[in-house]
């Protein structure tokens, strides 16, 4: 708790909408000054969660605590929370400067103070030249910056952002991302940021909460989420091209597929002999022209895409499985046979029924 930021705590939040649970008993703590990203596919409830934190959506059950105080019992004071919307929600009849100034003016912030704050924000966001333009005269990227600026002008303790980059050109997104990052570095507000773009989430979040079907699947740092996802959904949602998933059978220390031994498990040997799903990220598939070990498996190259920085191979295994591999340099042609190898260290093993990562709670 400080002047700059506040903690957020969601306690057993449930949200019903027309008799369906949109959010189901959700618990989440955001530390003061943390940058938390809510990540998930469309319709997973991430925007609803954000709107409940903002007080725009009522909570069917549970509590939203801001700095320990229940939001329901304390009306929004107009100061604590600022929010940036996906469509920016700029006031179309006001200039850039008036948009930034409006809430301050209504809440009787002194003119000198207003001017000082806004000049510095316009400066920071490179908007000084556009101060007298109407929103309709701005490009998408500029509108996005104005929306950001309007949120900043309030000097709120909590800053909520709802897919703020989804309406601007791909080329500009990287720059806008860096801007948001450096704002957080400077102001240290508590930020909750909603997005469906996993790269954005990885780049920005101190921690990421991956949501699906109204339930938080995993909350952790980007690194842990990538390397050690709790379940198959998280594993598939993060990373492009998607993680390879192969049906395997465990017995006597080996994972086998179609009678072929794929991986020798040394780290863990106390799992039941039964069907599992083996997840291997494309960059962890080791591709070579020759068989290099007893675990090398021959595959046929069906597609090669050179993205410049890396080469993506689509491989066919026995005509039954499609495997994507990412490598830096390999000299092969379509229809060549190449060998792949999978390492235990980079293998993620999921229970076939629960789709949970069986390693996860053992680490």
Partner 1 sequence: MNRKKNALWHLPLMIIGIIALLPVVFMISNSFKTLQESYQSILSLIPNKPTTINYTTLNHQVNLARLAWNTFFMATLVTLGKLFTGLLAAYAFRYYQFKHKNLIYLLFVATIFVPFTIVMIPNYLVIAKLNLLNSVIGVALPQLCDATGIMIFLKTMEKIPGSLFDSLKIDDIPNRRIFFNIVLPILKPSIISVGAMFFINSWNEYVWPTLILKDKSSFTLPLALQNYISSEGGTNFPLAMALSSIMIVVPLIIYLIFQRYILNSISNSGLK
Contacting positions for a second copy (CB under 8 A): 41-42, 169-171, 174, 178, 181, 196-197, 199, 202-203, 222-223, 226-227, 237-242, 281-283, 303, 305-309, 312, 314, 326
Question: Crossing angle for the helix pair 96-106 and 111-124, nearest 10 degrees?
Answer: 140
* Smallest separation (angstroms) from a second copy to the CB of 242: 7
Taking the CA of residue 148 as centre, how many other CA atoms within 13 Å lie in the half-sphere pointing to its CB?
Answer: 27
Sheet holding 158-162, edge to edge: 81-84, 158-162, 190-195, 35-39, 207-212, 215-220
Nearer to a second copy, 150 or 281 (CB): 281
* Smallest separation (angstroms) from a second copy to the CB of 266: 22
Give residues in contact with partner 1 (CB under 8 A): 51, 54-56, 76-78, 81-83, 85-89, 91-93, 102-103, 106-107, 154
Nearer to a second copy, 57 or 206 (CB): 206
* Smallest separation (angstroms) from partner 1 to the CB of 20: 17
DSSP strand pairing (158-162 vs 275-280): unpaired
DSSP assignment of 11-74? EEEEEEETTEEEEEEEEEEE-TT-EEEEE--TTSSHHHHHHHHHTSS--SEEEEEETTEETTTS
Nearer to partner 1, 69 or 292 (CB): 69
Angle in degrees, CA 45, 84, 67, rounded to 5: 75
* Smallest separation (angstroms) from partner 1 to the CB of 17: 13
Nearer to a second copy, 42 or 320 (CB): 42
| Residue 303 contact among partner 1, a second copy, none, beta carbon within 5 to 8 Å by kind | a second copy
Nearer to partner 1, 136 or 270 (CB): 136
What are the CA-CA distances from residue 225 to residues 40, 63, 197, 230 (Å)?
13, 27, 14, 8
* Smallest separation (angstroms) from partner 1 to the CB of 205: 22
């Amino acid at each position: 708790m400080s002047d700059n930021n506040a903690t957020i705590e969601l306690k057993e939040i449930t949200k019903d909408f027309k008799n369906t649970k949109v959010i189901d008993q959700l618990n989440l703590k955001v530390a003061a000054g943390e940058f938390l990203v809510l990540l998930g596919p469309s319709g997973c409830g991430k925007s609803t969660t954000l709107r409940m934190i903002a007080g725009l959506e009522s909570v069917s059950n549970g509590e939203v605590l801001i700095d320990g105080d229940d939001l329901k019992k304390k009306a929004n004071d107009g100061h604590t929370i600022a929010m940036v919307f996906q469509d920016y929600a700029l006031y179309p009849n006001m200039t850039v400067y008036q948009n930034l100034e409006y809430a301050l003016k209504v809440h009787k912030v002194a003119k000198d103070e207003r001017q000082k704050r806004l000049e510095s924000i316009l400066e920071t966001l490179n908007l000084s030249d556009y101060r007298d333009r109407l929103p309709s005269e701005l490009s998408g990227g500029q509108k996005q910056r104005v929306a950001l600026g309007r949120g900043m002008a309030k000097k709120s303790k909590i800053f909520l952002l709802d897919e703020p980059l989804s309406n601007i050109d791909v080329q500009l997104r990287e720059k806008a991302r860096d801007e948001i990052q450096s704002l957080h570095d400077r102001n240290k507000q508590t930020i909750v940021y909603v997005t469906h773009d996993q790269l954005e989430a990885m780049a920005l979040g101190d921690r990421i909460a991956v949501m699906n079907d109204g339930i938080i699947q995993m909350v952790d740092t980007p690194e842990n989420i990538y390397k050690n996802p709790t379940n198959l959904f998280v594993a598939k949602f993060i990373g492009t091209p998607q993680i390879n998933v192969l049906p395997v059978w465990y017995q006597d220390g080996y994972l086998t597929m179609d009678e072929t031994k794929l991986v020798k498990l040394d780290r863990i040997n106390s799992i039941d002999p039964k069907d599992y799903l083996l997840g291997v990220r494309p960059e962890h598939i080791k591709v070579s022209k020759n068989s290099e070990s007893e675990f090398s498996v021959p595959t046929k190259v069906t597609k090669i895409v050179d993205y410049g920085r890396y080469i993506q191979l689509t491989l066919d295994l026995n005509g039954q499985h499609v495997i994507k591999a990412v490598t830096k340099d390999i000299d092969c042609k379509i229809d060549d046979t190449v060998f792949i190898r999978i390492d235990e260290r980079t293998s993620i093993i999921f229970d076939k029924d629960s789709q949970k990562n069986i390693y996860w709670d053992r680490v």
